[in-house]
Amino acid sequence: MRSISTSSTRVPSSLPVRRIHTFALRRGWFQWCWLLIGIAFLLFVPAIVTTFWLHLLNMALIAVIGAIGLNLLTGNARLVSLGQAAFLGAGGFAAGLMTVNHEPPFLLVLLVATIIGGALGFIVAIPSLRLRVLYVAVTTLALHFAVSLSLNMIQAYVLDSSGMVLPIPAIFGFELSSPLRWYYTLLVISTGIVIAALNLLRSFVGRRWVAVADHDLAAESLGISVSRAKISAFVVTSAMVSFAGALQGYYLGTVTFEYYNLGLAITYLAMIIVGGMGRVLGSVCGAVFITLLPYSIEKLMHVLGIGAEGSTLSGLHEVLYGVLIIGFLLFEPRGLAEIWRRIKTAALDWPFRYRAVQRIQR
C-alpha cells in the first residue's frame, strides 16, 4: 500500500494516484504516437487541399486562438463575454493604426496589440468585480458598443478613410506572402497557444478561475482572491483575443470597423458552445467547425444543385448558427469535445461497454 499523505501532496491521500500523473497532459507511448501522427497530418495538409481551403484553414487557425481566449473566459472562468468582437477589433485596429504611417516590426506590433487588449480587459474587469453572470455579460455588451463606436469614430475622423491596409508582415526576413507560409506560421503560433492554454488551466492561475466560477464565496473563504482571479481572467484572455485580432488584421490585409460587429461576437460564442465549453479541445474543434461550416454548406448545395441568392445564403448561415447554438446547449451541452471523448472511449473499450474501475485509476 502506498504511504499515506505527505504534507506536500495535494491529492486526497485515499486515492491510489501518484501526484505526478494527476495533471499530466499526455500519458504513455500510445498517446505520444497519436500526437506525432496528428502533427504529421497537420504538416502535410497543404499538399492535399486547394489554396482556397488553405486560406480557410488559416482563418480557422486564427479563430482557434480567439476561441481559446473566449473559452477560457466564458467556459472556464464563467464570465460570459459578448465583447469578443471588441477585443478582436482592438487588436486589429492597434495593428492597423501602428502601420499607417510607419513600418514597425511585425512582432512588435503583435506585442503592442496584445498589451492594448490586456489593458482593455483590465478596464472591463473592474466593473465586473462586483457583478455576476448576467450582469457581466451586459457589461461586456456595453463594452462592445463603446468600442465599436470608438473604432467607427477613429476610422471616420482620425483616418478619414473607409479602412486601413496593412503591409505584408515579415518575421526576421521571412515574408508571410503566401497562404502556405501563413499556414505554417499560424500552425506554430496556435499550437503554442493551445499548449499555453492547457498549461494555464492546470496551473494555479487557471484553477483559481475555475474555483471562482464554481462558487465565488467558497473560493474567497478558501483564501483565493476573487478580484485577482477575475482581473487576471479578463486580462489574460482579452490579451489573447486581441493578439488574434492583430493576426487576423495582418492576414486579411485590411481592417474596417464594420467587420467587428455583434454577429462576429456571436460567431465566436457559437464556436465555443459547439466545440465544448471549458475545454481547450472544444475551442479548437468549434473554431475549425464553425469557420469551415458556411463554405462546406455552400459546396454541399453546389453539389446537390441547389442555388440560392447571396442574401438568402447569409440568412441561412445565421439560422444555422442559431440552431447549432440552441441545439448543442439543449442536447449536447459539452459540445463536440464530448462527442469525440465518447467515440474515443467506446473505441478503446470495445468490445466492452465500460471500463473496469482499476484501469481508470491507474
Q: Which residues bind another protein (CB under 8 A)?
A: 74, 78, 80, 82, 127, 129-135, 137-139, 141-142, 145-146, 149, 152-153, 216-217, 220, 226-227, 263, 266, 269-270, 273, 311-312, 314-326, 329-330, 333
Cβ nearer to another protein, comparing 81 with 248: 81
- Cβ 291 to another protein shortest distance, Å: 16
Least distance to another protein, CB of residue 126, Å? 9
Q: What is the C-alpha R_g of the chain?
A: 22
Quick one: 169 or 294, whose CB is closer to another protein?
294
CB of 53 to another protein, least distance (A): 25
Residue among 74 and 114 whose Cβ is closer to another protein:
74
Side-chain-side CA neighbours of 108 within 13 Å: the count stands at 7
Cβ neighbours of 328 (radius 10 Å) = 22
Query: Min. distance of Cβ 85 from another protein in angstroms?
Result: 13
CB of residue 65 vs another protein: minimum separation in angstroms? Answer: 22
User: Torsion over CA of 255, 259, 265 and 269, rounded to 10 degrees?
Assistant: -90
Minimum Å distance from CB 119 to another protein? 17
Which residues, including other chains, have CB under 8 Å from residue 18's CB and lie 6 or more apart?
none
Start-to-end CA distance of the chain, whole Å, equals 14
Segment holding 32, helix H or strand E: helix 28-48
Nearer Cβ to another protein (119/226): 226
Q: 88 vs 269, which CB is nearer to another protein?
A: 269
| Cβ 153 to another protein shortest distance, Å | 8
- Cβ nearer to another protein, comparing 78 with 110: 78
What are the counts of helices (DSSP H) followed by strands (DSSP E) for the chain?
A: 15, 4
Q: How far apart are the C-alpha atoms of 53 and 46, rounded to whole Å?
A: 9
Q: Pick the closer one to another protein by CB: 3 or 221.
A: 221
Give min distance, CB of 180 to another protein, in A.
Answer: 34
**Rounded Cα distance, 274 and 353, in Å:** 26
Interatomic CA distance for residues 80 and 269, integer angstroms? 9
- What's the CA gap between 159 and 309, in Å, rounded? 35
**Nearer of residues 11 and 266 to another protein, judged by Cβ:** 266
* Dist CA 247 CA 91 (whole Å): 8
Smallest separation (angstroms) from another protein to the CB of 139: 6
CA angle 167, 171, 245 (to 5 degrees): 60
- Smallest gap from residue 283 Cβ to another protein (A): 16
Read off the DSSP letter of residue 168.
P
Task: Closer to another protein by CB, 249 or 276: give it.
Answer: 276
The alpha carbon torsion through 247, 250, 251, 257 (nearest 10 deg) reads: 90
168, three cell numbers: 505584408
DSSP-assigned letters across all residues of 184-226? HHHHHHHHHHHHHHHHHHHSHHHHHHHHHHH-HHHHHHTT--H
Sign of CA dihedral 156, 162, 167, 171: positive
Q: Residue 1 or residue 217: which is nearer to another protein going by CB?
A: 217
- Greatest alpha-carbon pair distance for the chain in Å reads 74
